[in-house]
Amino acid sequence: MKKADYRHIALSYDQGRPLLEQNIDLWLGLVARFARMPEGARLLDLGCGTGRFSIPMVTKLRVHVTGADSSKEMLDQAREKDTGKLVKWEVQDAQRLSYPDESFDVVFMSHLLHHVDDPGKVLRECQRILATPGVILIRYGAIEQIRGDVEHTFFPEVLAIDEARTPSVATVEQWLAEADFRDIVSEEIVQKTFETSTAHLNAAKLRGTSVLTMISPEAFEKGISKLTRYIEDHPDDPRLLHDRATLTVGYKVNGKT
């Protein structure tokens, strides 16, 4: 599988992938609703990146958070932001977690599964490290949601990459069932990601969406030119401001199942 190189993305990641405060509150509200976790629960933010969810989870949900990622460079950025040392940061391979069985009450992941070679193995590892009862929450853009978005419309080479690696909602639910999770449910969320169309263009220029780093410079510049012209003609197109994403949730109950 072709993969993005986060050694080169880490420094500009937060600028290129803005996460508005209102969206943090939106997603943490969903986590609280579905996880139903007590104060002090043990939460693993798997594929935590620069800690955009990990840190507010500690302060707003009052849980103990471990942020794990395979990229040392992304974790370096997370540690810099975590001035209060609220989160335990660790380098981990999501397919081979070093944690003992039943180490966490909750596993949260955001836009992770399309980056790994074996998503099923990741979910089986999550099943293993979750206590009973436990819950896994997966935030992602399903292929049926991203096909028509800005990046996949103006950078067609990106669509070819993501068609090969990005699951549908039904596929994620199937993976969870095969990993022995139960009571699986998915909810689609529409969020306002950018305040203005220009902000979206500037984020695209930073290649904030990691797949933009995986296409040729020529294809990237061609897409930027097309997007710039489109924004000049359609600055108020809602598609430039909003994204659709899914939260899929599964529960570990009664021992393994």
Return the ∠ at Cα 11 (arms to 238 and 51), rounded to 5°. 75
Q: Is the pLDDT of residue 141 over 60?
A: yes
Q: Is residue 124 one of the residues assigned to a domain?
A: yes
Predicted local distance difference test score (pLDDT) of residue 109? 98
**Average pLDDT of 128-143?**
97
Quick check: pTM over 0.85? yes
Higher pLDDT, 5 or 150: 150
For the record, the structure tokens of 253 come out as 């109950």
CATH classification of the domain holding 34: 3.40.50.150
pLDDT tens-digit readout, 83-123: 999 999 999 999 999 999 999 999 999 999 999 999 999 99
In a domain, 222, yes or no: no
Terminal C-alpha separation, the chain: 31
Residue 125 lies in a domain: yes
Cα 199 to the chain's mean position, in Å?
A: 20
Domain presence at residue 237: no
> Does 12 have pLDDT greater than 80?
no
Dihedral angle sign, alpha carbons of residues 189, 2, 155, 7: positive
The DSSP H or E segment spanning 169 is helix 169-178
Report how far residue 257's alpha carbon sits from residue 254's, in angstroms, rounded to the nearest whole number: 5
Average pLDDT along the chain:
92
**64 near 42, Cβ under 8 Å?**
yes
In a domain, residue 201? The reply is: no
Question: Are the C-beta atoms of 245 and 193 separated by less than 8 Å?
Answer: no
In-domain check, residue 97: yes
Structurally, the chain folds into a number of domains equal to 1
Domain membership flag for residue 89: yes
* Residue-range definition of the domain harbouring residue 132: 6-142+167-192+244-252
Dihedral in degrees, nearest 10, Cα atoms 206, 211, 214, 217: -40
Establish if 182 belongs to a structural domain: yes
What is the per-residue pLDDT for 257? 41
Structure confidence at residue 256 as a pLDDT band (50, 70, 90): very low
Of 213, 206, 217, whose CA–CA distance to 13 is shortest?
Answer: 206
